[in-house]
Amino acid sequence: MRPRKAPVPWPLMVRASLAICVPLAAGLAAHKVALGLLPAIGGLIAVVVDVGGPYLARVKRVGSATVFGGAVGLTIGTLIHGRGWIAVVVLILVAGVSVLVSEMGSTGSVIGLQMLVYASFGFGPLGGLRPWWSGPLEFLIGVAWAMILIIPGWILYPRAAEQRSVADVYRALAAALRSAGAGDYTANRHAVTTALNVAYDQLLSARSGLGGANPQLMRLVALLNHSHLVTEATTTLTLEGGAVPDAVANAVDWLADSIQYGTPPPSIPAPWSNSPGARALCDALHGAVRLLAGKRMPGGQQAPAPGRRERLGELIDRVRGGRLIRMFAVRLMASIGVAAVVSEVLPLQRSYWVVLTVAIVLKPDLGSVFARALQRGIGTIVGAVLGAVILAVVPYGPWLLIPFAVLAALLPYGRSLNYGLLSTFQTPLVVVLIDLLDRGGWRLAEARLIDTLLGCAIALLIGYAPWPGSWQAHLPAQFAEAVTQVSGYTERALAKASPDRSRLRRQTYRDLSDVRAEFQRSMSEPRAISRRATAWWPALVGLEQVMDAVTATAVAVDHGAPAPSAEGVRRLTSVLDQIADSVRTGSRPLAEPDLPAEEALASVSDAVRGVLAVVT
């Protein structure tokens, strides 16, 4: 419940006001409020869904969430409006589909959520708009307007803060390398530590607002994990004494530019001496280049593109998820079903808000049910009172644009601080928006309050309380089990002619999806749990890097690359088993792991070192 510390995002606040208020102002000026309502709702969803990051990724995320999520959900809601029990059954099926879609990464997560949210509007006045295609079309016009408002920010700040923060770590490392052997190394080493802390905070803050896997953030975290290896080599060089060639420090600066600006990575010079520090540094920098270039195969080869059948099989496996994902689908479908039945049976004025609340509290990206229900309930109480005051005091017409602009501006600020504050500002905004379509006065806020609290109760009693596995975090034990599974997959995948490699790969990826699901849930829990969950995310990203590296190495061997030795594979699995045992027992893993140095296993050894550095 404690708000986070965050700067005031003035550009986002201005953009949110313009995205929502300009369509409404146009509708009021034309004396046709309904024409401005749905574009304003489209602008609202674009503001809420946009959580920052690289601009191309933001466009893809907002576009996918609004077209395949909001517009499709609104179309479904329009088609089931007034269909009684048929609408209940359809909404339960949409809930199940939303969880499966959420397994397709962070973009899939918001698609699944928005599809379910806007399908639930079929129980309300938005579902009654005709013709059926007009609502989704006007909605997408508002989304397009909100996306146009992104352009000025892209022109002024073309690179994401997350990329800059990781690049700053490597720039600090370059400065530390230049001072190796000099008197000011300690100050530069402290600068590296500070940059690491800032970068991890930046990435974890970005991650906490996302559901599902995000490839851009995962690669940045992998590069940040890998910087530990560069730091260790830099410390070794300092203890050895002697200067580091400028070409090596310049290559690290070049790496930083590649991370921030997306330029090609540099060529890493050969070790300038036979000292352990020089060799370790060059090996670590080669690993960073491989990560940056996205090359997982030995010798810098690119993995051959999988066939259509293989891609379809992998997509089905991702959508299926693991046991936790399927269990969560059952929880959400049961809760939505109860909410939809309540909406049909009880004489509620705005019954669709019950379903809407359950959908948001039990959102398909697997956040904390308890924390979200508590925060949404409190935020809705405050927001409903504020909405009632606005409807009672502010006269209908252009004067409503003033509270609209203020509430819209506060949305991104509230989101950066606390989910409850987001609900506090969003509730009166939605209350007044809906009142424009179906004039109900201040009693609309009262109906919103009753329905939302009822939805929170359903989410807690049906979607949370009967499932003891949702009450506590199991990350260390699940992570250790996942490491053991990856170790077994490594042993089988790198053995010659392993007939069950494909089946074992799919099973291991499903186990990792369960760990991701547990992590996402724990990240949203109260701080006593979320602090521990935060510490495990870099290790989870590193473990997924190991899986990718093992798979790419196995594919390379299938296509003629030299096969790794049995002894090298044994040493790799031994280190992975040691990591799993250390996590289970709470002890420290080996500081000097016995990893193979052969070229065929270089990318896998790099990835294992990254996991070991984080766990240690």
Helix (H) or strand (E) holding 57: helix 55-64
pLDDT for residue 170? 92
- 477 contacts: CB under 8 Å, gap ≥ 6: 584
- Report which of 416, 372, 324 is spatially closest to residue 524, judged by C-alpha positions: 372
Among 27-36, 186-195, 338-347, the minimum mean pLDDT is found in 186-195
- Report which of 319, 327, 275, 423 is spatially closest to residue 103, judged by C-alpha positions: 319
Domain boundaries, the chain: 10-156+322-470, 161-299, 472-615
Once rounded to an integer, what is the mean pLDDT over residues 458-468?
Answer: 78
To the nearest 10 degrees (0 to 180), the angle between helices 161-178 and 215-240 is 10
- Report which of 328, 334, 338 is spatially closest to residue 363, judged by C-alpha positions: 328
Q: How confident is the model at residue 441 (pLDDT cuts 50, 70, 90)?
A: low
Kindly tell me if the per-residue pLDDT of 324 is higher than 80: no
Once rounded to an integer, what is the mean pLDDT over residues 323-346?
Answer: 80
pLDDT for residue 526? 59
Token reading at 13: 């606040």
121 close to 127: Cβ distance less than 8 angstroms: yes
Q: How confident is the model at residue 300 (pLDDT cuts 50, 70, 90)?
A: very low
> What is the C-alpha to C-alpha distance for residues 426 and 429, in angstroms, rounded to an integer?
5
**CATH number for the 472-615 domain, one of 1.20.120, 3.40.1440, 3.40.1350, 1.10.3470?**
1.20.120
440 close to 388: Cβ distance less than 8 angstroms: no
Q: How confident is the model at residue 115 (pLDDT cuts 50, 70, 90)?
A: confident
Task: Compute CA distances 113 → 63, 90, 110, 150, 437, whole Å.
Answer: 14, 15, 5, 23, 24
Higher pLDDT: 364 or 493? It is: 493
> What is the C-alpha to C-alpha distance for residues 565 and 556, in angstroms, rounded to an integer?
14
> What is the C-alpha to C-alpha distance for residues 129 and 82, in angstroms, rounded to an integer?
12
The conformation of residue 453, written as its DSSP 8-state character, comes to H
Higher pLDDT: 414 or 57? It is: 414
Count of beta carbons in the 10 Å neighbourhood of residue 489: 25
> What is the C-alpha to C-alpha distance for residues 201 and 218, in angstroms, rounded to an integer?
14
pLDDT for residue 18? 92
171 burial via Cβ count (<10 Å: 0-12, 13-18, 19+): buried
182 burial via Cβ count (<10 Å: 0-12, 13-18, 19+): exposed
Once rounded to an integer, what is the mean pLDDT over residues 163-182?
Answer: 84
In the chain, the amino acid numbered 382 is V
> What is the C-alpha to C-alpha distance for residues 534 and 207, in angstroms, rounded to an integer?
10
> What is the C-alpha to C-alpha distance for residues 304 and 339, in angstroms, rounded to an integer?
48
pLDDT for residue 346? 80
Once rounded to an integer, what is the mean pLDDT over residues 89-113?
Answer: 79
CA 277 to chain centre: 37
Q: How confident is the model at residue 528 (pLDDT cuts 50, 70, 90)?
A: low
